Amino acid sequence: MSARPPTFYAWVSVATSVVVIVLKFAAYFLTGSVGLLSDAVESVVNILAALIALAVLTYASEKPDHEHNFGHEKAEYFSSGIEGALIFVAAGAIVWSSVPRLVSPQPLDQVWLGLALSFVASVANAACALLMLRAAKAHRSITLEADARHLLTDVWTTAGVFVGVVMVQTTGWLRLDPVIAIVVALQILWTGWHLMRRSFDGLMDRAIPDEDRAAITGILDQLRQQGGDYHALRTRVAGAKSYVNVHILVPGRMSVQDGHDLVEKLEGEIVARLPHVEVLTHLEPLEDPKSWDDPEKPLAGS
């Protein structure tokens, strides 16, 4: 799965979104259902999000340069944040188109053909989303994950609209159609809020997950069994990469070469366990009280 670059999956998402948007708007024009229109409007967001994801993944894959010494991976958080904002816009458009139908309900046309097109579009979205989720896990890409989860949301939205339109057709209660559209809008707002919150966390240098931190401290704890120690362990996540800074304390009598070999060994063990982590160590003499100074000590952790 990881043999293909992340941009490949972004292109798959773009192609799928083009097909889906044609099918869903065709379903709306055939039926006149604002429920199906709400589904089609969300697909407009899907294609915009896919294009943004493609641009951001292309930029994030660039090597570190003079102005961006740590690379460009953090750009991925802008993609998921913009996608979340686009979802808010889509939700507003859905509500705007639904309110008039609550006041003046209208009958639906060619319902079964429209639903058939909507079903095919949903299957395409589901297949693309599952493919992208696997790729997101392999590449540790929040951009691919955000796009995939948005597509999965679209699948559930389509399912809800599908059931609702069938109920409109069988019960004759025409106002159920705009009610379903408004419920869809409220549901996708939750997805948008979740994506924007994750982007904010990433841009604010959120610490690595607890399980990754536990793996790192498990390796560093070996020092205490060998007469050394460590402190000032700080971590942050930036897109697909994680960064770890830590102060290593060793006996002052240890030679520079032995100290270097020790930290190289520790860094190698951490990277072997967590290949996405980049480790920066600072070597200090254990006996010097100043070695324990840490004016920027986090509120939690050592």
Which amino acid, 238? A
Tokens of 147: 């796009």
3-state secondary structure of 87: helix
Whether the predicted pLDDT of 258 surpasses 80: yes
Residues 6+ away with beta carbon under 8 Å from 80? 142, 143, 145, 146, 195, 196, 198, 199, 202
Residue (of 204, 21, 254, 57) closest to 139 by Cα position: 57
Q: What is the mean pLDDT of residues 210-234?
A: 88
Greater model confidence, 198 or 221 = 221
Whether the predicted pLDDT of 79 surpasses 60: yes
Q: What is the mean pLDDT of residues 174-189?
A: 78
Tokens of 94: 């859905």
- The residue extents of the domains of the chain are 6-203, 210-292
Residue where the block lists tokens 């065709």: 26
Greater model confidence, 245 or 204 = 245
Q: What is the DSSP letter of 300?
A: S
Greater model confidence, 264 or 293 = 264
Q: What is the mean pLDDT of residues 79-106?
A: 76
Q: What span, in angstroms and rounded, lies between the C-alpha atoms of 46 and 26?
A: 17
Whether the predicted pLDDT of 96 surpasses 80: no
Whether the predicted pLDDT of 27 surpasses 50: yes
Q: What span, in angstroms and rounded, lies between the C-alpha atoms of 10 and 7?
A: 5
pLDDT single digits (tens) 30-39: 888 877 777 7
Does this model's pTM top 0.85? no
Tokens of 225: 């069994």
Q: What is the DSSP letter of 206?
A: P
Name the CATH superfamily, with its identifier, for domain 210-292.
Cation efflux protein, cytoplasmic domain (3.30.70.1350)
Instruction: List beta partners, residue 247.
Output: 231, 282
Predicted confidence at residue 298, as pLDDT, reads 56
Range with lowest mean pLDDT among 55-64, 222-231, 268-277, 287-296: 287-296
Confidence class for position 88, pLDDT limits 50, 70, 90: confident
Query: In the chain, what is the straight-line distance between the N-terminal and C-terminal CA atoms, in Å?
Result: 37
CA distances from 281 to 55, 178, 235 (A): 34, 59, 12
Determine contact, residues 162/119, Cβ cutoff 8 Å: yes
Determine contact, residues 158/102, Cβ cutoff 8 Å: no
Strands 229-238 and 241-250: antiparallel
The side-by-side arrangement of strands in the sheet containing 277-285 is 229-238, 241-250, 277-285
Q: How many CA atoms lie within 13 A of 127 on its CB side?
A: 12
Q: What span, in angstroms and rounded, lies between the C-alpha atoms of 125 and 256?
A: 57
In CATH, the number for domain 6-203 is 1.20.1510.10
Residue 45 CB neighbour total at 10 angstroms = 24
Confidence class for position 127, pLDDT limits 50, 70, 90: very high
